[in-house]
Amino acid sequence: MVSLDARAPGKPDVGGPCNGCGVCCAVETCPLGLLLFRRRKGPCPGLGWQSEYSRYVCGVLADPKRFLGWLPASLGRALVFRWIAAGKGCDSTAILMDVEPSSTSTRAHGSGMTFPGGESDGGAR
Ligand code: SF4
Ligand code: SF4
């Protein structure tokens, strides 16, 4: 079962601009997530909720130092950008069924970013 914040935007059609709905990373990990977190099934531990913008982001891209601390931040961000094909439009064919409007599994903490399990980075981007 996929659980997403009710404030997140609805998933666009495949090929449409990514709006940060978070569906793809909640369902399964991308190749980078598979490599980093050794799991194929979602939610990806790297999926972060940005309350300020009411959208999900790839925490690995937003904060590469957190997940790829062994790489210089600029290099890490550039690599992640390529690995996850960021900015290429929605490529998820996942279809959500039985959407419950009260689903708020990921809570906002100020303007910081939160991750599955309630972990917070404690700071704004
Ligand atoms: S790529 Fe993922 S986060 Fe972006 S719109 Fe598609 S399903 Fe949503
Ligand atoms: S794009 Fe980021 S959050 Fe989404 S599955 Fe890949 S590593 Fe995880």
Q: What is the pLDDT along the chain (125 residues), one digit of tens a residue?
A: 778 999 999 999 999 998 999 999 999 999 889 989 999 999 999 999 999 999 999 998 888 888 888 777 777 777 777 666 666 789 899 877 766 654 444 333 333 677 765 554 433 22
Q: What is the DSSP letter of 39?
A: -
Q: How much of the chain is in helix, strand and coil states, percent to nearest 5?
A: 25, 10, 65
Q: Choose which residue among 28, 32, 121 to substitute to test ligand 2 binding: the one with the highest number of ligand atoms within 8 A of its C-beta.
A: 32
* Ligand 1 pocket, Cβ-based, cut-off 6 angstroms: 11-12, 18-24, 56, 90, 92
Q: Which two tokens stand for residue 87?
A: 């900015």
Pocket of ligand 2 contains residue 57 by CB under 6 Å: no
Q: 66: CA distance to ligand 2 center in Å?
A: 13
